[in-house]
Structure 1
Amino acid sequence: MLQYYAKLWWVVALRGVFAIMFGICAFFAPIATLAALVLVFGTFAAADGIAALLMAISGRQRETGDRGILALQGLLGLGVGLLTWFSPVVTAFSLLLYIAAWTLATGVLQIVAAIRLRKDIPNEWWLVLAGLVSIAFAFLLLWQPLAGALALLWLIGTWALVCGILLVGVALRLRSARNTPITSL
């Protein structure tokens, strides 16, 4: 397996370089990076919708109920894709609202879990604190959505930079392993 990956070391390096480039763009051109992410999502949603519609129209499903569900799924995907292309700001804001709702629900559930576990585990206040941080993050996202979107983009950019650097490091190690003989068991 090492020899297989070693032959393709350059693919791993390329993934790393693309991740580093994305991370740099997230910090130095955040609006363009966010727009690109939203448009890529829109393209995926539309392509997925078209594929589901084609499957529904092709008639390969034996039950008509399956075709109806596929057609509905396709129309939904196509609609979301078109909405994203024609109004990317709405999509970006919707994603931010989704993240805010998720972190708010997570925070509340963590506090509920801490209350239920208070007799079973010591220091359950750590879980309460984690829940309060999640709730505070959700309110900050809702209070300052543009700043929240920028912070999320920077977080994704940081992740991309770190992963990109690590992938380039792995690629260099794989490159040096290209000519090592395979050891037998």
Structure 2
Amino acid sequence: MAMREFFTAMWRTILLRGLASLAFGILAFVYPGVTLAVVVTLFGIYALVDGLLGLWGVFRGKDQGTSVTSLLTAIVGIVAGLVCLLAPGFATTYVVLLIGFWNIAAGLLQLIGALVMWKDIEQPGLLALAGLAGAALGLLIVFYPATAAISIIWVIAGTAVLVGLVLLAFGWKLRSAAQGLMKARGV
């Protein structure tokens, strides 16, 4: 029951992460002609914000038990964001692979988290779907880097919008579950 309470308490964090992903995706669609350096910076900001929000969620729920996969997902996002922001030359050279590996790691960790907590949370399929989408994008990028470099903005934008919408839907489901717990407890 502790995990269920943890995730229902985290609906705001998940909604914020969904909004950040959605905003990143929309910006990438609106400005497709941006240079790779700007994409690296935008991705760095997005990954850092996503990782920091995830880390905030882990520490906020530490008394109720936190998931190792949630912590690792947050750390992966923070590291990817910092590499893009602090070493943009390096990141620009390797942005395709960096984004691919980040998506694989974050997606797999979300999927593992959904599977581990399948019985403890409502609608774990939404979290698993977000993880699968991210990991699938990462695999495509890593195995087809030349093609990915040409269409990277559109692919990233589309996936960010999809993941953002899924996280928003999942956040709203958690919000409903949190409200149900509060009513059951008479709060």
TM-score normalised over the length of structure 1: 0.41
Which of the pair has more CA radius of gyration?
Answer: 1
Relative contact order: is structure 1 or structure 2 higher (C-alpha 8 Å, sep ≥ 6)?
1
